[in-house]
């Protein structure tokens, strides 16, 4: 059996996607799942995501934008801190900062993100709200590789969620929760398959072996 791939997971908040990955590794074992989480990084202190990592006995690091003179300096610091753990894959599990050139130069083609809409529709920070405003009948989530655009990287997998009439009554809160449930399962599945099977990126197409 191939050696488990090394994952660094980046978080900004509650860390529910991180927890889903932690649970998958714990229940299946790193070798069977194909990956192990070796560190968790964040752009903020005092968040639940870091607490989850610490409870799991994982090393953590924090790189706050405001601690650096320029965004480029922060990006280089984040890249250095991440690279210190020699990851095979980096996973954005609700990491709410856009990385820059240095980070992508080191981890491009290995940096996985999720988005709460069916890309290329409704990119950006308000994917759920924008899908509702447009009157979409289905939406969902996308797992993709990060490139230098906003939610424009090659798509790895997508999950579909139906829009219900009542979703307009709470401004999409219930819809977002249903999307998150699908997103967690999809992320766990995709990261495991990427790690176990390997993959290649052909233009915009991601082929998992």
Contact 124, 147 (CB under 8 A): no
Distances (CA, A) of 6 to 17, 30, 41, 195, 199: 17, 10, 14, 9, 15
Q: Could you count the other beta carbons within 10 Å of the beta carbon of residue 108?
A: 16
42 forms beta bridges with 11, 62
Q: At what angle do helices 173-197 and 127-134 cross, to 10 degrees?
A: 120
CA atoms within a 13 Å half-sphere pointing along the CA-CB vector of 159: 20
Which stretches of the chain are DSSP H helices?
16-28, 30-33, 48-55, 71-83, 101-107, 127-134, 173-197
Query: Among 164, 121, 170, 168, which residue's Cα sits nearest to residue 141?
Result: 121
Q: Which of 115, 126, 144, 176 is catalytic?
A: 115
Whether 176 sits among the annotated catalytic residues: the reply is no
Show which residues are catalytic.
115
């Amino acid at each position: 059996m191939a050696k488990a791939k090394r994952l660094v997971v980046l978080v900004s908040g509650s860390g529910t996607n991180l927890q889903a990955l932690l649970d998958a590794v714990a229940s299946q074992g790193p070798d069977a799942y194909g990956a192990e989480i070796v560190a968790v990084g964040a752009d903020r202190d005092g968040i639940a995501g870091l607490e989850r990592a610490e409870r799991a006995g994982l090393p953590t690091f924090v790189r706050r934008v405001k601690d650096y003179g320029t965004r480029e300096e922060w990006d280089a610091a984040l890249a250095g801190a991440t690279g210190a753990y020699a990851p095979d894959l980096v996973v954005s599990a609700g990491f709410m900062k856009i990385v820059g050139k240095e980070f992508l130069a080191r981890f491009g083609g290995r940096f996985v993100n999720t988005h709460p809409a069916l890309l290329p529709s409704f990119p950006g920070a308000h994917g759920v709200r924008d899908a509702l405003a447009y009157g979409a009948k289905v939406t969902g989530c996308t797992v993709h590789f990060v490139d230098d655009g906003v939610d424009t990287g090659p798509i790895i997998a997508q999950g579909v969620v139906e829009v219900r009439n009542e979703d307009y009554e709470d401004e999409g809160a219930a819809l977002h929760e249903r999307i998150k449930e699908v997103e967690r399962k999809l992320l766990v599945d995709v990261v495991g398959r990427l790690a176990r099977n390997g993959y290649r990126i052909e233009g915009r197409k991601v082929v998992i072996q």
